[in-house]
Structure 1
Amino acid sequence: MKKVGLLGGTFNPPHIGHLMMANEVFHALGLDEIRFMPNALPPHKQARHDASDAYRLEMVKRAIHPYPQFRVESYEVVKGGVSYSYETLAALCAREPDVQFYFIIGGDMIDSLHTWYCIDELVKLVQFVGVKRPSTEARTEYPVLMVEVPQIDLSSTLIRERLATGGTVTFLLPEAVETFIREEGLYGT
């Protein structure tokens, strides 16, 4: 059975923290691939997308281009609307019955698993993989396989703020993503 990691998020924009987390989980669990899955409207965040779905997909493609173990999963963006993990994973499991999905989540998401839509059904579909993030407990009653990764206190919000104010984002973003952001004038650049 193929072992596929899924890393969901807004990726607004994707940054080195996302790549590092995916790479660490890929190697720690011996996965066949990791798919980066941008969501359309996450139920747990304000729908504040400074970049369109198409731009976020393109940034993810550019961020992962050099890494053959990484792919883009566009299911949620193509579907549109609110992205509930249970509905997405049920659809992906039905589409690919020969795949064991490993759903990668950060400590902030681990702490809130009890609030997720259809969580009791979701844990039967996938293996949750948790990575700690600064300032989170990363505790839950649900089964989560923890993977130790170097922690970096970096967020897309910080990067957007830096870009908007002319601050440096060198070493925080893949160069191809920064180039795209500047070419398209995203985030106030």
Structure 2
Amino acid sequence: MKVGVFGGCFNPVHHGHLRLAVEALEILGLDRVELVPTAIPPHKGQRGLLPFGLRCRLVQKALHGLPGLHCSLVEGGRPGPSYTGDTLEELARAMPGSRLFFLLGVPDLLTLPSWKDGLALTRKAHFVAVARQDMALETTREFVRSHWPEADETVYPGWMKSPGNMVCEWRLGPGSGNILLIRPPYLDISATMIRDYWSAGRDIRFFLPDLVLAELTRKRRLVERYWAKQEARSDVGQVGGVKARPPRGGCIHGR
């Protein structure tokens, strides 16, 4: 079974996340995609971050009626920071024999050497870099060649003509997964923007599924306890708090 792994804070989950999950499912021919809310982000603070249980409920509601997409609670079952390597190992144990495809943005891929276990993580999963622009091919190619000079490269024809397909694949060698580059359509929606709209009392319909909006509204008092801090920080020149990074899924990356 081919399983996509798409992690992030999902604070909150929105249509940009869902579209990327659907694109990965189809472009890579996956059997399923696991959206993995992070419990304790190791590389950023938890200020403004909704409780893990609520974020998971929001993801579950967002996935209603979307076959092939699932919410994994794996990171909520262990203490300490939510490191990518630990998550990949747990998912591999839970789905023996599966091939894991870990989704991240090209800028996150470039920081891989600084992650916990760094480049060795490619032995636990294939890494799928998500491009926002055509130049990502050269950037990713340079990164791969600098760390895996013997990698075998395949560039797929027709990728420049339209988004929504595979761009390139690098086979890193025995014992390692591959690095793949895809270029799905990019929806310019971020969790930061949604939180800013919420704090300002603006309409956030069509940024996220109706069921997610309904749950946020139902939990308004709890949500405002966390997101109101975003507004407070804007008074000192930090509008919206920590920048969300849509195609990378946020917090699971860079760890």
TM-score, reference length from structure 1: 0.90
Report SS of the residue matched to 2:43: coil
Q: Identify the residue that residue 146 of structure 1 maps to in structure 2.
A: 181
Unaligned runs of 5+ in 1: none
Q: Identify the residue that residue 46 of structure 1 maps to in structure 2.
A: 45
Report SS of the residue matched to 2:183: coil
Is the Cα–Cα contact under 8 Å of residues 133 and 153 in structure 1 kept in the other structure? no
1:33 and 2:32 matched: yes
Q: Give the share of equivalent positions with the same residue, in percent.
A: 32
Deviations 1:76-125 (A, max 9, x none): 12224211101211222233221101011123322321211102321011
**d(CA) in 2 for partners of 1:116, 1:12:** 22
Is the Cα–Cα contact under 8 Å of residues 102 and 127 in structure 1 kept in the other structure? yes
Q: Which of residues 215, 222, 235 is equivalent to 1:180?
A: 215
Q: Identify the residue that residue 78 of structure 2 maps to in structure 1.
A: 79
Q: Identify the residue that residue 6 of structure 2 maps to in structure 1.
A: 7
Q: Which amino acid aligns with 1:96?
A: M
Q: Kindly tell me: are residues 49 and 101 of structure 1, through their superposed partners in 2, closer, same or farther at Cα, counting changes over 3 Å?
A: farther
Report SS of the residue matched to 1:178: helix
Q: Identify the residue that residue 165 of structure 1 maps to in structure 2.
A: 200
The alpha carbon displacement at 1:49 in A equals: 4.2
Q: Identify the residue that residue 127 of structure 1 maps to in structure 2.
A: 126
The alpha carbon displacement at 1:73 in A equals: 0.8
Q: Identify the residue that residue 20 of structure 1 maps to in structure 2.
A: 19
Report SS of the residue matched to 2:12: coil
Deviations 1:1-40 (A, max 9, x none): x000010000010000000000001000110001110011
Q: Kindly tell me: are residues 121 and 94 of structure 1, through their superposed partners in 2, closer, same or farther at Cα, counting changes over 3 Å?
A: farther
Q: Identify the residue that residue 61 of structure 1 maps to in structure 2.
A: 60
Count how many residue pairs are aligned between Structure 1 and Structure 2: 187
1:112 and 2:111 matched: yes
Q: Identify the residue that residue 88 of structure 1 maps to in structure 2.
A: 87
**d(CA) in 1 for partners of 2:44, 2:26:** 29
Report SS of the residue matched to 1:65: coil
The alpha carbon displacement at 1:171 in A equals: 1.2
**d(CA) in 2 for partners of 1:75, 1:174:** 23
**Which structure has the larger Rg?**
2
**d(CA) in 1 for partners of 2:43, 2:188:** 20
Report which stretch shifted further, 60-69 or 86-95: 86-95
